[in-house]
Every structure is written in C-alpha cells, then in structure tokens.
Amino acid sequence: SQELEQSPQSLIVQEGKNLTINCTSSKTLYGLYWYKQKYGEGLIFLMMLQKGGEEKSHEKITAKLDEKKQQSSLHITASQPSHAGIYLCGADAGGTSYGKLTFGQGTILTVHP
C-alpha cells in the first residue's frame, strides 16, 4: 500500500515568515492533494497536482510536484495567523485505486502574530 510521510510534524513560525511543508511518497503518485484543516472541522481543498514538475499557486500558497512524482512541497509566503491549522497531503494511486486517497499524518502549523 502507498505510504505518505509529511515533514515537519509541527511548525511554529512568526507572522511574515516563509515556510515549507514536504510530503514524500513510497510510490509514484497519480495525483497529489493538499488540504488544510482547522481542528474539529472538515478538510478544505487547496490544490491537486498530477504532472511531474507541476506547480500551482493560490494566493500566498504554492505547491509543487517533483519530476519523479514522488515528492511534493507546499510553500507559504509571508505567513499570516489565518494560515494556522493542520496541512494534510493525500495521494491517489490511480488505476483501480482511483479516487481512494491515502493521507499523510499532517503538519501542524502555528503562526505567531
């Protein structure tokens, strides 16, 4: 089965600082999803990457998928308290597993004003 490892497990930054969260897969990814979760709430879809070398941005958040499609990074520029939460990466193995996502353990982000 596919496993996803996220690093770091937790991150504390000062408002205005940049940060990066990584997600590494044990297998080649068909699709890589990034979500944000506030404690006790549902997951908010951020971005989905499919192609090797693909990069997507939304506001101050940029996600990249490496050429081999086994590693993704999520970069936040000039962090704000509103960015605080749990960031989860999810993987779609494709084929008969299409749409069935496997998730990493999450990265807890704290942003101090």
Figure out which of the listed residues 23, 34, 35, 61 binds another protein, where binding follows CB under 8 A: 35
| Residue 88 CB, nearest approach to another protein (Å) | 7
By beta-carbon proximity to another protein, the closer residue of 18 and 98 is 98
Closest CA to 36 of 93, 83, 98: 83
113 binds another protein, rule: CB under 8 A = no
Q: Does residue 51 bind another protein (CB under 8 A)?
A: no
Amino acid at 91: A
Total Cβ atoms within 10 A of residue 50: 13
Do 109 and 86 meet the contact criterion of CB atoms below 8 Å apart?
yes
**Residue 45 lies near another protein (rule: CB under 8 A):** yes
